[in-house]
Structure 1
Amino acid sequence: MCKFNGVRSDDRDVTLAGQVVPKKDTFRYLELMLQSDGEIDEYVSHRIRAGWIKWQQASGILYDRKVSQKLKGKFHRMTIRPAILYGAECWATKKQHIQKISVAEMRMLQ
């Protein structure tokens, strides 16, 4: 939504240096994914992807048979889980978001 010359309008095109800036449904600000509808679905998916990236980086330790299960669990809790839940204290979560994170975590633990 733009407010130019005291007129509020959703349908006006925003231009920058003579070029029209395309409208987006999502906007990334710092680490947060903002959606036009106010939901956090994209951000939850983004955090799950970040957890999978950490999982891939740590696969050498997690797949090593010489490392105990207890140590692997501790490693998961200390590195991968925080990557997924980064910024979660600010989320307005729904059951579907919690389920999505739980499913991803269970798949990682298998």
Structure 2
Amino acid sequence: MIRRRVNATYVQETKWTDEKVREIEDTGFKLYYNGKDRRRNEVGILIAKGFVENVVADIRKGDMIMLVKLVVGRNIVNVISAYAPQVELDYQTKRDFLEQMDEILQEIPVEENLIKSGDFNGHVGIDKLGYEMVHGGYDFGNRNEAGESILDFALTSNLTI
């Protein structure tokens, strides 16, 4: 991250427990992370030392979604890291995740910027048919059921993939 001058990055499957902020040794980066169970896939966001003082909030929704809000110049940037439930998990677990994602998105004022990254555990496929407004065309293969859910969520949330 230092060599490539990356200011923020997202991590999944952290395996750390608790809701904390920790400094990454000898880098100046701070890791904001969230997790309750070492056996589950938790999330985190690494922020570069030049931006750490610009963090004004960190919000967690469940174990798999978190947001770090930064002031960058005159802009407010909301950085979201998310890790969707695995494909084999039950429908209700997946529905709960999407509801939590929707809740956190609803808390972001329209005039603020949003950068969302993570793993939604689905394949949206190469075909954009019916999803031209949200599908950037940068995938491969066939769409699966989870991919369809991702595209539907993007449509209802005014997001682009």
- The two structures have a TM-score, normalised by structure 1, of 0.37
Q: 1 or 2, which has the higher strand percentage?
A: 2
Q: Which of the pair has the greater relative contact order for Cα pairs under 8 Å at 6+ separation?
A: 1
- The two structures have a TM-score, normalised by structure 2, of 0.27
Q: 1 or 2, which has the higher helix percentage?
A: 1
Who wins on radius of gyration, i.e. which is larger?
A: 1
